Amino acid sequence: MITPTIFGCDPALTTGFGLIDAAGDIATFGHWCNKAPHEGRKAEDRPRRDQIRAHTFAQQLRRILDGYPTIERLAYEWVWKHTSTAQSQLYAGWRALLLAECHARGIDVWPVAWSTLKSVAYEYAEPSEIAQVKATKVKAERRLASKALIIVAAKRRWTNAPFTEDEADGLWVSEACRLGRGGGKA
């Protein structure tokens, strides 16, 4: 049985995660949804939806940390440029919950930038695949091609398991942290 020491996650509406040991072997991986029920789309409903999202994130984070007491480091995908104010606010809230929970448990926290995550994953990609992604001109299409390559690289690195993009991100965040390629302790 693999004893995980690193928990990597990609905090988002669908939070992908991966738990690995010091050798980089997978203990488990998966994702959880932080989406709130569609109880209303009016502006006055937003605080309630945000509360539900925060509660769900905190509850799932605690469930994993309680289930794997051997975790020494938690790495998360560090995003500094969001496409909207609402995304920035959600991310900041989840990051605050993550930092508080880890601080209370004495777990080191490591931010890993998307560019670092991508460079670690690309070490398992074929040069022709990387060139194809870089040659893609339209920004949205390049992002999708890049995400597809992240999944292919994860399958090469670990197994042929059917990773989602969120799960692959969580695993690569863990791997970057294991290799000491994150931003250091938060």
Whole-angstrom Cα distance, residue 3 to residue 21? 6
pLDDT of residue 24: 94
Q: Where are the domains of the chain?
A: 5-113+162-179
Those residues of the chain that have pLDDT short of 70 are 1, 37-44, 144, 160, 184-186
pLDDT of residue 39: 57
In CATH terms, 5-113+162-179 corresponds, of 3.40.640.10, 3.40.50.300, 3.40.50.10280, 3.30.420.10, to 3.30.420.10
Instruction: Give the predicted TM-score (pTM) of the model.
Output: 0.88
pLDDT of residue 143: 72
CA angle 45, 58, 174 (to 5 degrees): 125
Of 156, 174, 181, which Cα lies nearest the Cα of 73? 174
Q: Take residue 60 and report the two structure tokens written for it.
A: 């799932």
List of residues 6+ apart from 79 with CB closer than 8 A? 91, 114
Summarize pLDDT for 133-166 with one digit per residue, the tens.
888 877 777 776 788 889 989 999 998 677 899 9
pLDDT of residue 38: 66
